[in-house]
Each structure stands twice: as C-alpha cells, then as structure tokens.
Structure 1
C-alpha cells in the first residue's frame, strides 16, 4: 500500500544519491511523538520493502523541546536506531545542545525553558521552578533531569553528529555558512545559522538538507531542501525521500486524535 503512494513521483534533475541507496530525512520533531510515530512507521515500511542495499534515515535535529513528549521521541529514535537493517543518523540540533548544556549549567534553565525546555523537562517528570531567579530550584531541576534521563537517551544525545554527507546531499540541522567548504563548517553554524544561509543565492558543492527554520511546506530550490514545517505548532511533521534523482515529501498531519499521511513530489 505504501509503495503506491510513490507511484506518481517524477524524478528531478541534478543532485542524486549513490547507487542502491535510499535516504529519508526527517524534519524537526520537537516532542511531537504522536506525529513521529506514524511517520517513522511509514518510513521503515518503505525502506524494508525497498530493493536498495543501503537504507538510511537522517533525523535532522531538534527532536526535543516545545512539544509535549520529548522523552517519547527519544525512545522512538533509540528504537529505530537499533534496527540493524537500517543506517540511522540522529543529528544534533540547537535544542539538544541546550538540553545537554542544562545538565552541566543549571543557570541556563530559564533561557532554555523560554524556548521549549519546560515541556522537555515535564516529559521526564521534572517540574521546573516557577521563578526564573530560583537558583537552587534550577540546580535541583538539573539534577532531577540527569537522574531521569535513561542511559539510552544519554548515549543517543552524546553520539549525535553535526552533519552527514551522502552522495550529492549534505545533511545538517540548520544549514551551512556560505563561503566555507562544507567539510569545514563549524558546529555552531551547523546548529544555529539562519538568514546568512537562507538568503545567500549561490549553491554549495552539495545540496544542503536541513531543518531549523520552519516553513509552510518542504522547500526545494535547487540548492537546499528545508524539511522543518513547525510540527509543534502546525501539527504537520515532514520528511523527504531521496533516491537517485527523485525527491518526494512525506507529511504526517494531525487533526484531533487522527494523523493522516500524504506525499508529494518536490518541484522547484
């Protein structure tokens, strides 16, 4: 059934994956385990059915924060990463960076919670302090989070790469700095860059596949593919399938308790 969703996809020119390789890139999940569960199930079903010898999933970072179930999302990533049939890459986003930083620097708690950390803490059963100036409370919350994090989540967070290169595609959370070779990009830019990357018209040596900056739909403009559709706020989580010169978007859209999947060929 799932394979029929891709039957009308038409290949686009230029960038391509290596032979016998299918790559899925998943945008910013941000704690929306209700959307990521059916999306990941569909992706795995497609890969298992594929005749390709190399079957890859790249999670583009910002798995945590903002949405209600960061813990559940990391459980999902740990589980799919244990599937020996697949090559799974979980990239580091700025929100994973802040979560880990809070474990060592509790004073970062107020700023982290201002942009989504509160929901991540609560998914682990940790209630953040009411007052931003409650230094002892933030220390206690940091310790409690450290105790609540399963070892499997710690290993996943610590093992995250900043980027991965596959064929003519370069995957990173935020993008890349123009004028700097992709292999020489800084971790800060790979996690945080925005307008300097988005506004620069010249292509890189590879097509950059990224999240970080939400848009209404998956963006493909010949130089980059933006896969973040703001799942935590829009109820739409997106992924892109890359095989040869074919590029297809998959979206999981939540409507109440129902999640529907839809696909579309990328044009641009």
Structure 2
C-alpha cells in the first residue's frame, strides 16, 4: 500500500528544530554570506532549541565567486556541523570536468568558465579547433592545479538528500511513485517536468531548487527556492519551525 501523502499546510518540522533550506547559490558569495548573517541573527534572537541550515546544491558556475562559495561552506561546516550541504548537478559537473575535460559537457556549456576564473584559470580560446583544444588541455591542467584538494573532497562528500520531519530536501526533486529511500541520485539532481507536473501528494514535502522561478514557489506537495540568485540578485530560503513555514529572501542586485 502506498504511503499516504502530506499537504504543505499540514507539514511540520521536527519538534524543537528550526530548519533553513537555501536555494541555488551559483557563485554568489555575497548573497550566501548575507543570508548566513541573517540566519545567525535570527537564531541568536529567537534561540531555538536546535537548528539546521540545509544548502540545496549548485554552489558553482555562472556567478563570480564559486571558489569563495566553496571556501565559505567548508569553513561553515567545520565550524558548525549543523550546516548541511547537498549535491547539485553543477557541483557534480565540476567534479566530472576535473576528471575528464569535456568541451561539450555541463561545466563548459553552463557557467564553468566563470568557475575556472574564480580559481584564476581561463578556459576561453580563439575560434579555431586547435586553439580550443589546446586551451582546454592547458586550462584543465591549470584548474586541477588551482583547485585545492579540500574543494574536491568537499564536492565528493555531498549527499543527495536529507530528511527532517515532514520534509525531504534535495537539489532537483523526486520521481513520483518511487519511495523516497529508493530515489535515483540522477533524478535527485536533474529531474524536472515529471516531478513538477505531478499533482498528487508525496510522502513528505519536497524542498528543492534546480529550476529557476521569479520568486519562491510554494505548492501543496513541494517548495522551490531557486530564485536565480546569480542573475536576479535574490537568494531564497524556506524556514520551517514546527508547524510554522515562511520564505526568507536576501537581495543584493550587484554581484
């Protein structure tokens, strides 16, 4: 028998644990740092019994400071293990590029050039085939040299999902009809339409990013907090405190 679903309005976080789930950062260290400051101020003021800050993936690509974002997250996790980070498809794409530099892969096609620049490495070249191939070879070698092992270890350490109370957190979403514990990691970081278009209730509310929306999208069965931070200048988070749920926004227009 299928597990009964839950509606967003009825969903609750764990007793005594406030949850913050932050959407796609994409190299916007300024927004991430400002969001952390806001959360820190709230926690110091409200003094919840316990808390978790959950980052929903896509820390790199497109924005100006992917390296700085990873440095920031590593330090945050080492300082306070209640900062949790999940894997996004772009984070995996960065790892894949470091392993095999595919000129047509996700990294090169969707913002990896900016990621490399944050490490001081240029991956752009003249239009000739030889120019591109040589730049790719040299750039890949330089990026391997420039990316600290701690960054590679961090990216490899990222889990695909985490659950608290009535909420399931992942980067992209889930495949309807598959138990949460049996979801394919590929779906957890890539899925879109079949997940977005499903109107039924899930066993838990799925909190995700991956697909940009103009403002945080709260549905009966899911919450999308990817507000295209790298371009819009607005980073969004879902806050859950028992039965209370709200959206927290941090806006900085200039990168």
Q: If the length of structure 2 is used for normalisation, what is the TM-score?
A: 0.90
CA deviations over 1:138-184 (Å, ceiling 9, x no partner): 23222211211123322211110000011100000000011111111
Aligned equivalents of 1:209, 1:76: Cα separation in 2: 23
Q: Choose from 160, 163, 170 the match for 2:161.
A: 163
Does the CA contact (< 8 Å) of 1:29 and 1:62 recur in 2? Answer: yes
Q: Aligned residue for 1:38? A: 34
Aligned equivalents of 1:47, 1:23: Cα separation in 2: 11
Q: Which residues of 2 match residues 88-107 of structure 1 at below 5 A?
A: 88-107=83-102
- The reply to whether residue 25 of structure 1 matches residue 21 of structure 2 is yes
Q: Aligned residue for 2:12? A: 16
Q: Which moved more, 1:186-195 or 1:44-53?
A: 44-53
SS state of the match for residue 79, structure 2? coil
Does the CA contact (< 8 Å) of 2:70 and 2:151 recur in 1? Answer: yes
SS state of the match for residue 82, structure 1? helix
Higher relative contact order (CA 8 A, sep 6+): 2
Q: Aligned residue for 1:122? A: 117
Give 1:217 deviation, angstroms. Answer: 1.0
Aligned equivalents of 1:149, 1:89: Cα separation in 2: 22
Give 1:111 deviation, angstroms. Answer: 4.7
Aligned equivalents of 1:111, 1:226: Cα separation in 2: 22
Aligned equivalents of 1:155, 1:41: Cα separation in 2: 26
Aligned equivalents of 2:175, 2:105: Cα separation in 1: 29
Aligned equivalents of 1:94, 1:110: Cα separation in 2: 12
Query: Structure 1 stretches of 5 or more lacking a match?
Result: 1-11, 258-268
Q: Aligned residue for 2:4? A: none
CA deviations over 1:46-90 (Å, ceiling 9, x no partner): 234443333101100011101111011111111211223x51211
Give 1:236 deviation, angstroms. Answer: 0.9
Q: Choose from 222, 243, 254 the match for 2:241.
A: 243
Q: Aligned residue for 1:5? A: none
Q: Aligned residue for 1:6? A: none
Q: Which residues of 2 match residues 15-94 of structure 1 at below 5 A?
A: 15-84=11-80, 86-94=81-89
Does the CA contact (< 8 Å) of 1:107 and 1:139 recur in 2? Answer: no
Does the CA contact (< 8 Å) of 2:22 and 2:53 recur in 1? Answer: yes
Q: Aligned residue for 1:175? A: 173
Does the CA contact (< 8 Å) of 1:101 and 1:108 recur in 2? Answer: no
SS state of the match for residue 215, structure 1? coil
Does the CA contact (< 8 Å) of 1:17 and 1:168 recur in 2? Answer: yes
Distance 1:111 1:227, change over 3 A: closer
Aligned-pair Cα RMSD in Å: 1.8
Give 1:242 deviation, angstroms. Answer: 0.8
Query: Structure 2 stretches of 5 or more lacking a match?
Result: 1-7
Q: Aligned residue for 2:192? A: 194
The alignment covers a number of residue pairs equal to 245
